[in-house]
Chain A
Amino acid sequence: MNKLVPVPDAIARLPWGLYALLTGIACFGGVVLYSAAGGHLMPWAGMQLARFAVFLVMAEVIGRVPHQLIRAGAFPLYGAILIALILVELIGGVAGGSQRWINLGFMQLQPSEFMKVAVVLAVARFYSILPIAQTRTFTAIWPALALIGFPALLVLVQPDLGTALMISMGGVTVMFLAGLPLRLFVGTGLAGVAIVPITFSFLHEYQRNRILIFLDPESDPLGAGYHISQSKIAIGSGGLFGKGFLNGTQSHLDYLPEGHTDFVFATMAEEWGMLGGVGLIAALFILLRWGMRVAQQTEDRFARLVAAGLTTTIFLYVAINLMMVMGLAPVVGIPLPFMSYGGSSMLTVMLCIGIIRNIDRNRETLGDRWR
């Protein structure tokens, strides 16, 4: 297998292996953005790589802060971001549109992005202070559901279905790992499946259409199905080896919408083909495997829940985005980490990596201090 495959011990000794992997993925992203801009560094590739450099340093810094800071900061951070979310909702209401960010002057802060991290930290923190004996009581459930549900609802009304979904799933994953009875999850899942047809019958005509078009995008190639159709054409026409660097026609002739952000994978696949696509997926899953290994090797309750939860968050980015561009999920606007142009998502993912890295660094010394 690949040289970069991190043997857990080797990772511990050689964090550079991880960074080489990240840099590799980010550079590949830069190359794709370079092509998407028609063979120019500006406006996307250069900016993206510069951001990556900054965020990589930031991740390393986070990796080196005392672990206690993260543990103690979990709830305050969650609270602060929740307030920001409410603020956004208020400002957005005033502005009369679906505004999702607060303009800080030097950058636009999108609180829902950070909530993906904060919700994992908060729920993990909750279970780390919950007495083990109460794991199978309601006390173990409702506070966690509140922690997840409140921000998810706020994001949902923005409306941002994708992010709301990611926040919920990140939090629920932590609940799952915390040891809540399996039957709860299975039962809820079955109930959900049962509810789908009932819900469908209650939907508005246009909402139903949207779902039907997702199931068969070719039925409306110029309307709502346009994104998915064009994305599939880009990926499909790439074939095994792709059309070659800078030779993508779907992206360069503007047939592929959002070719540098949400649909960057299609831009990449058109020029690099199936080999590029599978290579990228493999690289991203090596990263995920590293995250899960860290979680499994950590004894500390909070730390391992956080590591696994944040890894799942990264996984959700990758999975939802790729399913979307390949026509397996509706278009919900989730970017592909390291590849899609944009600061917020990269910042979030690098935050996750920094925190997992911090756990990885400290797991030897972390005792399981149940409180």
Chain B
Amino acid sequence: MKLFGPNNTVMSLIFGKKTVTEASQSFTFGRRAFFLGGAQLAVGGLLATRMGWIAIAENEKYELLSESNRVNLTITPPRRGWIVDRKGLPLASNRTNFRVDIIPDRLQDRDRVIAELSKLLKLDPNDVDRINEDLDKAAGFQPVQVADDLSYEEYAALSVRLSEFPGVAPAQGFSRFYPAGPSVGHLIGYVGAASAEDYQKTKDPLLITPGYKTGKQGLERSLDKLLTGKPGARRVEVTAHGRIVRDLATRPDTPGRSVKLTIDAGLQEFAGRRLGEQSGSIVVMDCLTGDILTSTSMPSFDPNSFSDGISHLEWQMLSENDHVPLRNKTLAGLYPPGSTVKPMVALSFLEAGLDPDESTICTGGLRVGNRVFHCHSRRGHGTVNMHRAIEQSCDIYFYYFAQKIGMDVIAAMARRLGLGQKFDLPFPNQSYGTVPDPAWKLKKYKEEWQPYDTVNATIGQGFMLVNPTQMCVMAARLATGLDLNPHFLADGKRHEGTPLGIPLEHLTVIRNAMKDVVNGGGTGRAARVDIPNVLLAGKTGTAQVRNISSAERAGGVRGNAGLPFKLRDHALFQGFAPYDNPRYAISCILEHGGHINRMQDSPGIVGDCITFLYDPAKAMEKLAGYEKVWGGTPQERLEKQLNEFRIAKGLAAAPPDNAANASNAATPANDGEPEAPDPDQARESADAGAPADVEEPREAPSSAHPASAPAVAPLPLPEAQ
């Protein structure tokens, strides 16, 4: 213990050399106690100052933070404006519904909750698929809809058991309702929850509010700004755990504006149903104003099921279908117009000074360059003047005079009548087609224009492409000689066309010829309408989608019925009525229609649509008869198709299978059709898989199907430039 001895140097270094006495220690204590007291007081002062800093200097900042803690702003989605037809009938409306959402962030024990929910709400396996898919994709904040349109009983049953399902949120809201279902699918489009990308872009909290839907396609998308109102807000005081203590203030939502369309809801639905099993489109225009009365593309999807969040399976079925139900054919479908352009070409001849009585002789073929071009009539039409050429759709007449007159005249007239024209229409995806002429070909292909190009163009083949709406505009301008433009929105103004400067006597020649196409001995007799004082004028068309080789021609051209669907000709028709005082213009294009089935061919369809405009009851009666054969309305057929698809995929296990069998057994009305549809359907779907559109290069260039399933339910439909 030497280390601790009083003389140790280390000791003195540490402890100093002072000797401690009682007095000195007492003195030290006094001093140090005083120091300690002072230090304590200093800390007290520091604390008081700190408090002053927080509570006085930074008071504003903290008051704000405290308020934002306390007050929670809940947004109530605005009711969406209605879309109504020209008479005020709703095409898209809202209905109150009870809904159940899942907030992914708060969900615990997902499998159990979904199993219980599907039992409680009787969800079918399809819905469960979709919910699981959505949950996998969903960002934590974005609610995933479990079920919509619940009955009050289901809603109540769930509400009382809510504590068992963390993350499940029942709600009352509005859902979009489309009374006409599939027949307005492409026209109106559909709505859906905003995507996560949309939200990332704008950070608008409305976008992630449960129940808020934004327009995804068609008019719903392009009119979204008008239709979306101002959200309501509810300021509530909430606890840290999210429990609402009391309401502070509530501002009701301002519903979006209603939009009135020029569409005639009745005709729109009739046209959609009348297209039957065809893949086609109908556009009807008012010849006085350019109002679009109908813009139908079938087959279609049910926008109601899109708005609810479409199932994976339904999407797959729609995208694999070779009738392309996901494309709006009226605006995004491009077709060679075929013979329907002949009246237009004839008008250009008149404009160029051709006498309508001048004639040529059709022998069934004409040599152009080193190739023989054939007329559709192999025997030939004999002596043909303009009237007869249109009435009989003689190709040789047009081959002959077109070569004399030249493509530039024809192309100019085509453009005047609206082909290739871009119309300012409220639709996101449109294709505008092509009116070819020498300058165009040089620019596009770096090749000289050839006589056979002219020949092809005069019969609406070759480079010429139109969409059905343009074809309808052509019919309307042919009918009136006025510069009519299509309108979808009834804005209260009257859009009268200005004269195109085409002499009336020229038009009269064309109109009379087109009248006789239908009412004389022409090619469109099937379109005749049985309405007093109303004569339909029109022009048929057939557009080849394949080359017919000379060998095949020699051996006899195969009938369309013997060809696979994708190789059949397009069947077209354009016209107007009444012929002497045009009121309505119409176009109808059936993809690969092939003129196989008279009941479902374009002239008959056009005739019935015009009949509907004058005598709806009569037209409906006829349609009802047809639909018995086809197996119901488009809606019913769509549902049936989905069931069959599910069975074909082997996806639906026992329950839906049984249900389908049961329903088959229960409806002997189906006896007319053998049991073939199932395998057929399956094979066709498989055939029409990925390479489906490759065979159709003439159509919208980028119209390839989205090969994979959609990420979230509503994915943009195939887009075209």
Partner-B contacts on A (CB < 8 A):
132-133, 135-139, 173, 176-179, 181, 183-184, 230, 232-240, 249-250, 253-255, 269, 273-274, 277-278, 281-282, 284-285, 288-289, 292, 295-296, 299, 301, 304-305, 308, 312, 315, 319, 322-323, 326-328, 368, 370
Indicate if the CB atoms of B63 and A239 lie closer than 8 Å: yes
Stretch at the interface among B40-48, B169-177, B202-210, B340-348: B40-48
Does B508 interact with chain A (Cβ within 8 Å)?
Answer: no
Indicate if the CB atoms of B47 and A233 lie closer than 8 Å: no
Indicate if the CB atoms of B43 and A274 lie closer than 8 Å: no
Within B1-18, the residues touching A (CB, 8 Å) are 3-4, 6, 11, 14-16, 18
List, in ascending order, chain B residues with CB within 8 A of A250's CB. 66, 69
List, in ascending order, chain B residues with CB within 8 A of A315's CB. 40, 43
Q: Within the assembled complex, what's the spacing in Å between the Cα atoms of A255 and B21?
A: 58
Besides A277-B55, A328-B47, 14 new A-B residue pairs in contact (Cβ under 8 A), listed by A number: A132-B20, A136-B20, A137-B4, A176-B32, A184-B15, A233-B69, A235-B55, A237-B66, A253-B239, A274-B55, A281-B47, A281-B51, A288-B44, A295-B33
Indicate if the CB atoms of A253 and B70 lie closer than 8 Å: yes
How close is B451's CB to chain A, nearest CB, in angstroms? 78
List, in ascending order, chain A residues with CB within 8 A of B238's CB. 253
Within B465-489, the residues touching A (CB, 8 Å) are none
Does B677 interact with chain A (Cβ within 8 Å)?
Answer: no
Contact of B41 among A179, A274, A277, A285 (CB under 8 A): A285
Q: Within the assembled complex, what's the spacing in Å between the Cα atoms of A328 and B245?
A: 33
- Which of A232, A236, A308, A370 is the most central at the interface, judged by chain B CB atoms within 10 Å of its CB? A236
Indicate if the CB atoms of A139 and B4 lie closer than 8 Å: yes
Contact with A along B13-37 (1 / 0, CB 8 A): 0111011111001101110111011
Q: Within the assembled complex, what's the spacing in Å between the Cα atoms of A139 and B3?
A: 11
How close is A302's CB to chain B, nearest CB, in angstroms? 12
Interface size on B, residues (CB 8 A): 50
List, in ascending order, chain A residues with CB within 8 A of B32's CB. 176-177, 179
Contact of A233 among B19, B21, B34, B65 (CB under 8 A): B65
Within B203-240, the residues touching A (CB, 8 Å) are 237-240
Chain A residue nearest in CB terms to B4: A138
Indicate if the CB atoms of B62 and A179 lie closer than 8 Å: no
Indicate if the CB atoms of B26 and A236 lie closer than 8 Å: no
Q: Within the assembled complex, what's the spacing in Å between the Cα atoms of A133 and B70?
A: 65
Does B613 interact with chain A (Cβ within 8 Å)?
Answer: no
Does B52 interact with chain A (Cβ within 8 Å)?
Answer: yes
Contact of B51 among A183, A235, A304, A305 (CB under 8 A): A235
Q: Within the assembled complex, what's the spacing in Å between the Cα atoms of A292 and B61?
A: 39
Does B504 interact with chain A (Cβ within 8 Å)?
Answer: no
Partner-A contacts on B (CB < 8 A):
3-4, 6, 11, 14-16, 18-22, 25-26, 28-30, 32-34, 36-37, 40-41, 43-44, 47-48, 50-52, 54-56, 58-59, 61-63, 65-67, 69-70, 237-241, 245
Indicate if the CB atoms of B59 and A237 lie closer than 8 Å: yes
How close is A349's CB to chain B, nearest CB, in angstroms? 15
Chain B residue nearest in CB terms to A218: B65
Indicate if the CB atoms of A135 and B25 lie closer than 8 Å: yes
Indicate if the CB atoms of B29 and A133 lie closer than 8 Å: no
Chain A residue nearest in CB terms to B16: A181
30 contacts between A and B (CB under 8 A): A133-B20, A137-B6, A138-B4, A173-B36, A178-B29, A179-B29, A181-B15, A181-B16, A233-B66, A233-B69, A237-B62, A237-B63, A239-B56, A240-B59, A253-B69, A274-B52, A274-B56, A278-B52, A281-B48, A282-B44, A296-B33, A299-B26, A301-B25, A308-B33, A308-B36, A323-B47, A326-B47, A326-B51, A326-B54, A328-B47
Q: Within the assembled complex, what's the spacing in Å between the Cα atoms of A177 and B48?
A: 27
Q: Within the assembled complex, what's the spacing in Å between the Cα atoms of A281 and B63?
A: 23
List, in ascending order, chain A residues with CB within 8 A of B241's CB. 254
List, in ascending order, chain A residues with CB within 8 A of B63's CB. 236-237, 239
How close is B85's CB to chain A, nearest CB, in angstroms? 51
Indicate if the CB atoms of A326 and B50 lie closer than 8 Å: yes
Chain B residue nearest in CB terms to A133: B20
Give the 5 A-B residue pairs with the shortest CB-CB distance, closest first. Answer: A236-B62, A237-B66, A136-B15, A254-B240, A292-B37
How close is B639's CB to chain A, nearest CB, in angstroms? 48
Q: Within the assembled complex, what's the spacing in Å between the Cα atoms of A244 and B56?
A: 16
